[in-house]
Structure 1
Amino acid sequence: MAPSSDIGPGIELRHLISFLAIAEELHFGRAAARLHLAQPSLSQHLQRLERSVGVELVARNSHEVRLTPAGEAFRERAQDIVARVRRAAQAARAAAAGRAGTVRVGYNFPAGQRVLPAALATLNARHPEIDLEMSEMRTGPQLAALGEGRLDVAMVYGRPLAADLRSRHLLRVPLVAVVGLRHPWAARERVPFVELAGESCILFNRAQSSAMYDAIFSAAQTSGIRLTVAEEVDDPHATAIIAAIKPVVGFASALRGRMADGATGGPRTKTVRLYDPVPILDLYAVWRAQPGPLVEAFLSCLPASSEVTI
């Protein structure tokens, strides 16, 4: 049995749609053609609606068609009702197609700055029924959460090689050095990587971000130097605090470094470009094989691959 189209005592959705067409066209012939109805049927819809409401909504004579004051007042409410019904139908179709629900997304700082804003805007425009649950984490914790089913998509440094994971390149990001304002490098715009041979460095446990860790040590190997690791700190903000007060060198993505340089009220640091070589990180979206329609919808909204310049 088909569901009733009644939306109130004696009021049917099709009667509201017919009334709104008349209200917009102010011409019965054009309104009927727009709705692919015979003109007598359109007139009948209006008559039934007016009987249900109990007042005249449209006045017409041989010269004009116009809304009565009651019709003007009714029009806005009718538009809202029809729009709500249409949105409800869209939500139902989205749910039936697996396009309504929540996608759990992990991300790091560069993804939050360069990828997620555009992806969210596109997702909201294309799939307003899909919500995102977002968590900022480093690469290691993200991949662990993805493997345990606590995340649907991870935005991480490095491309995982696991057979049950899929990935897509999003962003190429240079690494920079982070030093306090009293450090000798603070007066310099860029420094060759080889000069790190004479510096004490702050690093982090490799499990936190293996791609970033390896990029730093690969650049050291290319430069023919050994890094001196004075401290190991897993929190990027804590790294900046230590660099601000001690004569050590930390590392950050160019995007995080720029943000720290412009910040007020936090640790006072300066970012310095590294070169010869420039340590580079590649950011990927990573998800499990056979992701399902919700994740596929989110992935389709990710922006094209890009590169951060320094």
Structure 2
Amino acid sequence: MEFRHLESFLAIAEELHFGRAAAKLHLAQPSLSQHLQRLERSVGTELVARTSHEVRLTPAGEAFRDQARAIVAQVYKAGQTAREAAAGRSGHVDVAYNFAAGQHVLPAVLTTMHTDHPNVGVTLHEMRTGPQLQALRAGDVDVAMVYGRPVGAEFESRPLAKFPLVAVVGPNHRWAGRPGASFSELAHEPCILFGREQCPAMYDSIFGAASSSGITLNVEHEVDDPGAVAIMTSVKPLVGFASTLRGRHISGNVRAVPVRLFDPVPTVELYVAWLSGKTSPAAELFLDCVEAQASVLGEEPLQV
């Protein structure tokens, strides 16, 4: 049974006229008749009864018509799905991101994706920069949103926004009610920090500001989980660091308190990154939406 034979049968079933059916398919009428004969031999019964006065479907033809329509429709749908996937209008994108990207970039990007490309699925994975780049390199994610330009020829990237870093303290810390603090004041405060491999750009920005201030940071604890940092600063007189804490709660009604740092103001830049030459059509569509949002971010400086 050939697909073209099904198409010929359906044209006959719709037109009930061999001449019109042949014209509809841009076939010669003898070819159309041959298609029907071969289909009937394949099925093993007569599907169309034809006399000099009329063309009609047999009871077997009536029953076969519905199944043939379903088969043809499914084949057309399969072809359309393949074409959409090739053009990036369907498929799936795995996106790694950090908290700042989740707050300032992804909401608008996902809204655009849902509106313009509703058949493209997006799965999100929140993690720090180091693990993001490892996942990107391993092929576990398609796009990463990281701090600092990724180092390595295998990565391509584009800057999105620059964020000031803030100190993070608990609600009972003596800095909690202050609008800001000079970076040099950190010389007298026990700090909690993450390992450099977790986020090199933020780590280097913090220690660069310390060097510019002529101080040495007193790092009492090293913790790689941002949630654990927030919890520890809520119960101990420690100072942590973050790029944004807008709306972030520790637990219940307890909130981490951001304190602006100045003289100098440490900053970190957010990038979108992907593997060079290895983006899928669906990932390309996601990156197009990120590009549009990047233009908006460039016009409106972000405030913490």
Task: Give the alignment's TM-score, normalised by structure 1.
Answer: 0.69
Tell me the equivalent position of 1:288: 275
1:180 aligns with 2:170: yes
**Equivalent runs, 1:202-241 vs 2, <5 Å:** 202-241=192-231
Counterpart CA distance in 2 for 1:233 and 1:150 is 25
Contact 1:94 1:129 in 2 (8 A): no
Look up the match of 2:133.
Answer: 143
Counterpart-to-counterpart distance in 1, 2:221 and 2:89: 47
Aligned equivalents of 1:156, 1:146: Cα separation in 2? 11
C-alpha distance after superposition, 1:138-165 (max 9, x if no partner): 1000000111111111100000121121
Say if 2:248 is the partner of 1:260.
yes
Q: 2:119 aligns with which of 114, 124, 129?
A: 129
Which residue of structure 2 aligns with residue 4 of structure 1?
7
Cα distance in structure 1, aligned partners of 2:10 and 2:215 = 76
Matched, 1:109 2:112: no
Cα-to-partner distance string for 1:106-157 (whole Å, 9 max, x where unaligned): 0011111111111112122222221112111110000001111111111000
Deviations 1:77-107 (A, max 9, x none): xxxxxxx999887544312435421111100
User: Using the alignment, how far apart are the partners of 1:241 and 1:281 within structure 2?
Assistant: 23
Query: 1:192·1:275 contact (CA, 8 Å) conserved in 2?
Result: yes
CA 1:113–1:225 in 2, change beyond 3 Å: closer, same or farther? same
Which runs of 5 or more structure 1 residues have no equivalent in the other structure?
13-51, 53-83
Q: In the superposition, relative to structure 1, how do residues 186 and 97 fare at CA in structure 2: closer, same or farther (>3 Å)?
A: closer
The letter of the residue matching 2:294 is A
Amino acid of the residue matched to residue 185 of structure 1? W
Of residues 151, 158, 164, the one that matches 2:148 is 158
- 8 Å contact 1:175–1:252 — kept in the other structure? yes
Amino acid at match of 2:144: A
Which amino acid letter does the alignment assign opposite residue 102 of structure 2? G
Local SS of the residue matching 2:152: coil
Tell me the distance in 2 between the aligned counterparts of 1:148 and 1:273. Answer: 37
1:276 counterpart (255, 259, 263): 263
Structure 2 spans left out of the alignment, 5+ residues = 16-56, 58-73
The match for 1:297 is 285
Q: Measured at CA, do residues 267 and 207 of structure 1 come closer, stay the same or move farther in structure 2, by a change above 3 Å? A: farther
Structure whose alpha-carbon radius of gyration is higher: 2
Please give the alpha-carbon distance, in whole angstroms, between the structure 2 residues aligned to 1:175 and 1:8.
Answer: 68
Counterpart CA distance in 2 for 1:106 and 1:8 is: 50
Tell me what 1:308 maps to: 302
Q: Quick one: structure 1 residues 8 and 270, their matched pair in 2 at CA, closer, same or farther if it must change by over 3 Å?
A: farther
Q: Is the 8 Å Cα contact of residues 240 and 267 (structure 1) preserved in structure 2?
A: no
Aligned partner of 1:45 in structure 2 is: none
| 1:4-83 correspondence to structure 2 within 5 Å | 4=7
- Between the two proteins, what is the percent identity of the paired residues? 52
Evaluate the alpha carbon distance shift between residue 125 and residue 200 of structure 1 in structure 2; reply closer, same or farther with a 3 A threshold: same
- In the other structure, the counterpart of 2:110 is 120
Residue pair 2:180, 2:261 contacting (<8 A) in 1 also: yes
1:197 matches 2:187: yes
Q: Residues 260 and 128 (structure 1 numbering): CA distance in 2 closer, same or farther, change over 3 Å? A: closer
CA contact 1:91–1:129 (8 Å) conserved in 2 = no
Distance 2:236 2:11 in 1: 72
Aligned residues: 238
Provide runs of 4+ in structure 1 moved above 6 Å: 5-9, 84-89
Task: Report the Cα offset of residue 293 of structure 1.
Answer: 1.9
**Equivalents in 1 of 2:128, 2:236: separation in Å?**
24
